[in-house]
Amino acid sequence: MHPLHLFRFCPRCGSQHFVENNVKSKRCLDCGFVYYFNPSAATVALIQNERGEWLCVRRAKEPARGTLDLPGGFSDMFETSEQGVCREVKEETGLDVDRVEFLFSLPNQYLYSGFNVHTIDMFYRCHVSDTSLARAADDAGELLWLRPQDIHPEDFGLTSIREGIRKILETT
């Protein structure tokens, strides 16, 4: 079912005459406001240490609690995606990112508080000067440095992360 079915009232005027406009939007019959349901921006960080190992995290929270993940999360309002990935890496690992390199993006759905949030997950290679300072925090319950040959996409709980890891492994 399309997520717009959950939106019953116009966010502009509060009218309950908020109807399907097309597959991407709803329109208010009272004030004319058209709301487009677009994906939220999210980031994913690929960080390697001097031995070529990838920094993986064990998810401390739902969805997919206990499974592997890569550091990252939602971009905040008024920040770029690059700023968002740097902030998320700092929050989850304590590491300061020196430089980011965009790799690719993938669509995803992220279940948050019972609501399926559509996202566009932007994958970045993040360069960090001192990986020895890494510590688990925020959404990360544990940090693991894994060799690429020991990484199995099926161990990662989120669909886009599994797909992204497959894609990265195919090109390395």
**Number of domains within the chain:** 2
Are 56 and 134 within one domain? Answer: yes
H/E element, 102: strand 97-112
Are 32 and 57 within one domain? Answer: no
Are 16 and 101 within one domain? Answer: no
Question: What pLDDT does 1 receive?
Answer: 61
pLDDT digits (tens, 9 = 90+) for 56-83: 999 999 889 999 999 999 999 999 999 9
Q: Quote the tokens at residue 153.
A: 């996409």
pTM: 0.90
- CATH no. for residue 163? 3.90.79.10
The number of angstroms, rounded, from the C-alpha of 149 to the middle of its chain's C-alpha atoms is 24
Note down the domain range covering 58: 40-171
- What stretches in the chain show pLDDT beneath 70? 1-2
Which residues have a Cβ under 8 Å from the Cβ of 151 and sit 6 or more positions away? 54, 56, 165, 169
Distance CA 90, CA 13 (A): 39
Distance CA 89, CA 46 (A): 10
